[in-house]
Amino acid sequence: MSDADRGAAAEYGRSQEPGDDGALGAGRGRLHIDRERLDLAIATALPLAGVRRADSGTRVGPKAAFLGELAHLFPDSVAAGVVVPFGAYHAHYRSAVVSVPKTLKQATGAKPGEPLPDFVERTYKSFFDEMIPAGTGEKELSAWIRPRLEVVRHSIQAKPMAPALRDSIRKRLEQQGMLEAGSDEPTRGLFVRSDTNVEDLDEFNGAGLNLTLFNLGTLDGVFEGIKQVWASPFTMRSFSWRQTLIDEPLWVLPSVLILESVPSEKSGVLVTADIHTGDPARMLVATSEGVGGAVDGTPAETLVWSEQGVELVSMFKSPWRRLLTPGGGSELVNATGDEYVLSPKELAALIRAGQKIRDQLEPSRDAAGRERPWDVEFGFADGKLWLFQARPFIGNEQLRNVPALAVYEPSQNPGPQILSLEEKLP
């Protein structure tokens, strides 16, 4: 692989999920939330088809907004979905009261029954306006904030969900064919994904910081899962990466994307241009067998596609693959043992979709005005392409490489191999 390709791979890795906890004392005010754009008036569920890109950062997060765009471009390749907007979380949070976990031993200053926003505002004031400016050490900051975050998470999850919101979620699921009328069991398992207003900012990619719940099999499980997702910005990992980089951390808001599960036999990520040069004639594809491919640490089949051929960078080597199970959950089973993950027909379908996304969606641009490529999550079930997410590729020097792309390091890369798109794979 060329030096340019290695640089491109490193840039892709920086755009992916953060590592462990961030630095609590790293300062604040570097990233801005535009509160004027927020629309918190809607506190009931929305159909995915009714959400578009203009709603990103206003009513919902970018996952739902861009997936709504994909649903219009590829109506047969995007699973049915329902979106719980920022306003639903905000109403729940504003009306919650402090509930202290019985297992919590540390003193937090929390008063059971007091309004949760009062406790959070008091906590943030002490942490951001007093402790950090005073130069408090990382260890002390962590020890002080962890139990208080636990109180916040517990309080959010302890509060019952508003009946109007529950009813609207049920109604939308029924309208989308995801739930039969009167039933409490979805027709298929459901994914519940966090989608905040501070993901994919120009200077920060919040991918993977919050919760995704896989293949839930009951409506009550979905309701509880939504509250878990609402609480997830207050995990230590999320808080330390995100809230400490935001100028107004009280306004980090999660929306929730509920998607019908797709039993993918293969899944991965596609980037619609050369990440180093921006050349749209070259695309990066990383695919693994099963669900969660290339974004869950699984060794991936990694390809660089161009009209001149397909460069095989690494092969899928895991002995296992994760598959969804009927009725909810997932299981690890043996990998197929096939030499290649994607067939030429599947790769061709994926590249056509990437080209259509690149050509028909208005691109995001970096500070210099250059078009950003698209970062697309996909899957194949019975040979059919499904699209799960599209977002502008955002580079970020603070983020580590995803494990699936570690093969780009020179010491691990045996050199490129050119394949023909017409070659029949076993």
* pLDDT of res. 355: 96
* pLDDT of res. 204: 57
Host H or E run for residue 191: strand 190-196
Q: What does each of the 426 residues of the chain score in pLDDT, given as a tens digit? A: 444 444 433 333 333 445 455 566 555 446 788 899 999 999 999 999 999 999 999 999 999 999 999 999 999 999 999 999 999 999 999 999 999 999 998 888 999 999 999 999 999 999 999 999 999 999 999 999 999 999 999 999 999 999 999 999 999 999 999 999 889 999 889 999 999 988 756 555 555 666 889 889 999 999 999 999 999 999 998 888 776 678 888 899 999 999 999 999 999 999 998 877 788 899 999 999 999 876 656 678 999 999 999 999 889 988 999 999 887 788 999 999 999 999 999 999 999 999 999 999 999 888 788 888 999 999 999 999 999 999 888 754 322 333 443 343 333 343 444 444 444 443
* pLDDT of res. 89: 98
* pLDDT of res. 206: 58
C-alpha–C-alpha distance, residues 278 and 373, integer Å:
7
Distances (CA, A) of 34 to 37, 84, 103, 319: 6, 20, 38, 46
* pLDDT of res. 370: 85
**Where in 274-422 does DSSP place strands (E)?**
283-289, 301-306, 309-314, 320-324, 330-334, 374-381, 384-392, 418-419
For 179-211, what is each residue's pLDDT tens digit?
998 899 998 899 999 999 887 565 555 556 668
The answer to whether 265 and 257 are in contact (CB under 8 A) is: no
Tokens read off for 3: 């030096």
* pLDDT of res. 47: 96
* pLDDT of res. 83: 98
Dihedral (CA of 226, 328, 46, 211) sign? positive
Domain boundaries, the chain: 3-15+263-419, 43-260
Three-state SS at 23: coil
CATH 3.30.470.20 is right for the domain spanning 3-15+263-419? yes
CATH 3.40.630.30 is right for the domain spanning 43-260? no
Read off φ and ψ for residue 242, nearest 5 degrees: -100, -60
Q: Which of the 8 DSSP states describes residue 44?
A: S
* pLDDT of res. 26: 54
The reported pTM is: 0.82
C-alpha–C-alpha distance, residues 59 and 314, integer Å:
40
